[in-house]
Amino acid sequence: MEEQLKKIENEAQQEIAQAESRERLEQLKVKYLGRKSMVTRLFTKIPVLEREEKAKIGKALNLLKQRINFFLEERAKNFEKKEERIDLTFPPEKINRGIKHILACVDENICEIFKNLGFMIVEGREIEDEWHNFTALNIPLEHPSRDVFDTFYLDLPVSDYGGENKGGGKYLLRSHTSPSQIRVMEKRKPPLAVISPGRVYRPDKVDASHSFMFYQIEGFCVDKNINFSHLKGVLFSFAKSFFSEDVKLRFRPHFFPFTEPSAEVDISCMICKGRGCSVCSQSGWVEVLGCGMIHPEVLEACGIDFDRYQGFAFGMGVDRMAMLKYRINDIRLFYENDLRFLEQFYEV
Ligand code: PHE
């Protein structure tokens, strides 16, 4: 008898373990524990057994029934429908919101420093006319210095664009942010301290340090008794806060038609700390901006009395500034939108 029970248990265990659905489990339940099952039939034989046997077999049969039930329940767990539960304590998946472009951050950072020095931010326009981009800046049509500022001209009839074209010249993509000086001085009178960021365009061949579109920030100040030392003071103060206290600036005499005197400013190379590297062409210095005292012709073109007012102006390359500060050796990286590059600037 005991052997028979063991055999039933083994069989049941094996078949239940192989069951692949709830229906199959139901069938096996009927087969092993149902009214016509072997186990039930054996129960019916108990009354005819000897007293001692009765207790022993009864106990063994109950145990067998319990075990088969246990096998059935355990196997049934595999087919339980996975209940969906919302666990409010579970940390959420990371949401990728994106980040600001490194150039936008540097641009804002520079503007913020000048704002703290008392400058006001005024945005210019990317489509300019020849008068604002050249003529008013003391670069007349036939002047050879127009060649220096190679320019993208636009095929736009004058009447199609705002009808505001002073001088009736061609439209163009501005080749520098200096026309912002003119736009502001036409409308407002001194005292003025203005910073004007934006994109500029030049048909340059693209390489590690040139792009046909890049970012500049124009700054200028017009008031009574303004002189070159004010310009130096502002630029020093800016460079110390943007780079570090130990930064050095070098002013080299230069020529711009719209400033007199003019200078180009080099900054001590932040990458090699002046020892010489490929970014500074082994010289220890990197050119970062052009500047000077606003030419009287420019003030006059904007209707400002140049006997009473003087001003200084500067224009810096934002890409250059970003490259120096974050040790980036190729301007193209800014514009290729490779996330592996851009994502390195989460903290900026
Ligand atoms: N506009 C000049 C350039 O793009 C920079 C500059 C601005 C120089 C203001 C002097 C004064 O090269």
**Which ligand 1 atom minimizes the distance to the CA of 314?**
9
**Same domain, residue pair 298 and 328:** yes
**Same domain, residue pair 72 and 210:** no
Q: How far is the CA of 235 from the centre of ligand 1 (A)?
A: 14
Q: Edge to edge, what strands does the sheet with 171-173 contain?
A: 127-129, 171-173, 152-154
The domain in which residue 243 lies consists of: 102-122+180-345
Residue 108: beta bridge partners?
none
- Residue 320 Cβ inside 6 Å of ligand 1? The answer reads no
Residue 78 included in any domain: yes
- 138: alpha, beta or left? (left if phi > 0; alpha if psi -120 to 50): left
Could you identify the residue written with the tokens 């087919």?
79
**Substitution candidate for ligand 1 out of 137, 178, 181, 232 with most atoms within 8 A of CB:** 178
**Same domain, residue pair 112 and 56:** no
Cut 0.95: pTM above it:
no
Separation in Å, CA 205 to CA 143, 150, 222: 24, 11, 36
- Residue 176 Cβ inside 6 Å of ligand 1? The answer reads yes
Nearest protein Cα to ligand 1, atom 9: 314
Residue 107 included in any domain: yes
- Residue 102 Cβ inside 6 Å of ligand 1? The answer reads no
Residue 213: beta bridge partners?
201
CA distance 246 to 273: 10
Helix axes 51-76, 38-45, angle to 10 degrees: 160
Among 69-83, 128-142, 327-341, where is mean pLDDT lowest?
69-83
Residue 309 included in any domain: yes
pLDDT at 145 > cutoff 70? no
**Same domain, residue pair 326 and 232:** yes
Residue 231 included in any domain: yes
Residue 95 included in any domain: no
Residue 174 included in any domain: no
Q: How far is the CA of 188 from the centre of ligand 1 (A)?
A: 21
Q: How far is the CA of 314 from the centre of ligand 1 (A)?
A: 6
| Per-residue H/E/C for the chain | CHHHHHHHHHHHHHHHHHCCCHHHHHHHHHHHHCCCCHHHHHHHHHHHCCHHHHHHHHHHHHHHHHHHHHHHHHHHHHHCCCCCCCCCCCCCCCCCCCCCCHHHHHHHHHHHHHHHCCCEECCCCCEEEHHHHCHHHCCCCCCCHHHHCCCEEECCCHHHCCCCCHHHCCEEECCCCCHHHHHHHHHCCCCEEEEEEEEEECCCCCECCECCEEEEEEEEEEECCCCHHHHHHHHHHHHHHHCCCCCCEEEEEEEECCEEEEEEEEEECCCCCCCCCCCCCCCCEEEEEEEEEECHHHHHHCCCCCCCCEEEEEEEEHHHHHHHHHCCCCHHHHCCCCHHHHHHHCCC
Which tens digit of pLDDT belongs to each residue from 195-211? 999 999 998 889 888 89
**Same domain, residue pair 244 and 297:** yes
- Residue 309 Cβ inside 6 Å of ligand 1? The answer reads no
Q: Is 67 exposed, middle or buried (0-12, 13-18, 19+ CB in 10 A)?
A: middle
Kindly indicate the confidence band of residue 241, based on its pLDDT and cuts at 50, 70 and 90: very high
- Residue 315 Cβ inside 6 Å of ligand 1? The answer reads yes
| Last residue in a domain, options 84, 111, 143 | 84
- Residue 314 Cβ inside 6 Å of ligand 1? The answer reads yes
CATH of the domain at 314: 3.30.930.10
**Same domain, residue pair 241 and 326:** yes
Tokens at residue 343, please? 């994502």
**Same domain, residue pair 278 and 193:** yes
**Same domain, residue pair 312 and 216:** yes
**Same domain, residue pair 60 and 116:** no
Task: Decide: 125 and 165 in contact? Cβ < 8 Å.
Answer: no
**Same domain, residue pair 233 and 114:** yes
Which tens digit of pLDDT belongs to each residue from 105-131? 999 999 999 999 999 999 999 999 999
Kindly indicate the confidence band of residue 234, based on its pLDDT and cuts at 50, 70 and 90: very high
Go through the chain and tell me how many residues it has.
348
**Same domain, residue pair 208 and 334:** yes
Residue 145 included in any domain: no
**Same domain, residue pair 293 and 222:** yes
Which tens digit of pLDDT belongs to each residue from 273-328? 878 887 788 899 999 999 999 999 999 999 999 999 999 999 999 999 999 999 89
pLDDT at 147 > cutoff 70? no
pLDDT given for residue 184 in this prediction:
97
Residue 307 included in any domain: yes
Give the chain's domain count: 2
